[in-house]
């Protein structure tokens, strides 16, 4: 198994159906394993969906909400792929983006993780898909006005989003909504930190990947729709 896609679900069955359908429809040329960890959703609709429509999915139903970090680590333990993709259930793909991301990640031993361009449901850009490491300066100056006025400032780390060149770019942080990482690298840096329940665990993981000597690449020509991102994420602050 080459690619393990790990999805932590919580009350998102309708989104999850479209997410899984797009994965099996569009991901070709590589072996794909899908692991879903249901974080104690309010009903049994997730389990019913997977058992009825996607029986090949590895499903774990948690008795309590473990949060994103711990749920993802649990999914990692159930997976077997050499490449891991941590993916939100409210995402969809419309082309072979994961196949191309795997190719980039495997192109050299120096790359530890890759991420994609995230789009809202209406096709607009989610600038939260990449960012710079938090500093005192960029956190003090962080505002929607300044980000909109100076989107290519190095303070935000968003320059590759507006680059005309489609080549992969080295970045600090990629969003946990669609985060692909080599299994050996994920294990080497200690996985996600379980002390984070939700948000910033992706920033922390990317920092440790970089400190371990690996680069993180953003792929501007790989687009993933992230339906919930516009509602729940503020650019540069929170990752869903």
Give 61-116 pLDDT, tens digit per residue. 999 999 999 999 999 999 999 999 999 999 999 999 999 999 999 999 999 999 99
> Which pTM does this prediction carry?
0.89
* Residue 46: closest CA among 71, 28, 80: 71
pLDDT for 147 beyond 50:
yes
pLDDT in tens, 14-64: 999 999 999 999 998 899 999 999 998 988 899 999 999 999 999 999 999
73 vs 132, more confident: 73
Neighbour-count burial for 129-141, b at 16+ CB within 10 Å, e otherwise: bbbbebeeebeee
Q: What is the pLDDT of residue 239?
A: 30
Please, what is the Cα angle at 35 between 90 and 195, to 5 degrees?
75
Per domain, the residue ranges of the chain are: 3-232
Q: What is the pLDDT of residue 236?
A: 33
SS3 127: helix
End-to-end CA distance of the chain: 27
When the pLDDT of each residue in the chain is averaged and rounded to a whole number, the result is 88
Q: What is the pLDDT of residue 111?
A: 98
* Residue 169: closest CA among 179, 180, 157: 157
Question: What architecture is domain 3-232?
Answer: Alpha-Beta Complex (3.90)
Distance CA 58, CA 37 (A): 8
Distance CA 59, CA 228 (A): 22
* Residue 160: closest CA among 199, 204, 115, 124: 115
Q: What is the pLDDT of residue 237?
A: 34
Residue 10 backbone class (left: φ over 0; alpha: ψ -120 to 50; beta: rest): beta
Q: What is the pLDDT of residue 240?
A: 31
Give all strands (DSSP E) within the chain, no chain letters. 3-9, 32-39, 58-62, 83-87, 91-92, 111-119, 130-131, 169-170, 173-174, 178-182, 215-226
Q: Is the Cβ–Cβ distance between 145 and 236 less than 8 Å?
A: no
Confidence of residue 200 (pLDDT cuts 50, 70, 90): confident
Identify the residue whose tokens are 């409210």.
90
């Amino acid at each position: 198994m080459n690619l393990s896609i790990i999805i932590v679900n919580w009350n998102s069955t309708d989104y999850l159906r479209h997410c899984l359908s797009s994965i099996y429809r569009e991901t070709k040329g590589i072996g794909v394993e899908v692991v879903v960890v249901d974080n104690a959703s309010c009903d049994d609709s997730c389990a019913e969906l997977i058992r009825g429509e996607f029986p090949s999915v590895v499903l774990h139903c948690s008795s309590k909400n473990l949060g994103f970090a711990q749920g993802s680590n649990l999914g990692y333990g159930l997976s077997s792929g050499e490449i891991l993709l941590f993916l939100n259930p409210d995402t969809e793909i419309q082309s072979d983006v994961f196949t191309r991301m795997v190719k980039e990640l495997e192109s050299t031993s120096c790359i530890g993780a890759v991420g994609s361009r995230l789009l809202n449901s209406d096709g607009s850009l989610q600038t939260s898909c990449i960012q710079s490491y938090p500093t005192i300066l960029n956190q003090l100056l962080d505002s929607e006005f300044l980000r909109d006025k100076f989107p290519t400032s190095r303070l935000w780390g968003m320059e590759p989003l507006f680059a005309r060149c489609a080549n992969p770019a080295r970045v600090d942080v990629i969003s946990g909504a669609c985060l692909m990482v080599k299994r050996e690298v994920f294990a080497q840096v200690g996985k996600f930190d379980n002390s984070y329940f939700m948000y910033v665990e992706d920033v922390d993981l990317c920092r440790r990947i970089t400190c371990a000597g690996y680069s993180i690449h953003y792929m501007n020509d790989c687009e993933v729709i992230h339906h919930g991102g516009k509602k729940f994420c503020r650019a540069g602050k929170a990752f869903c």
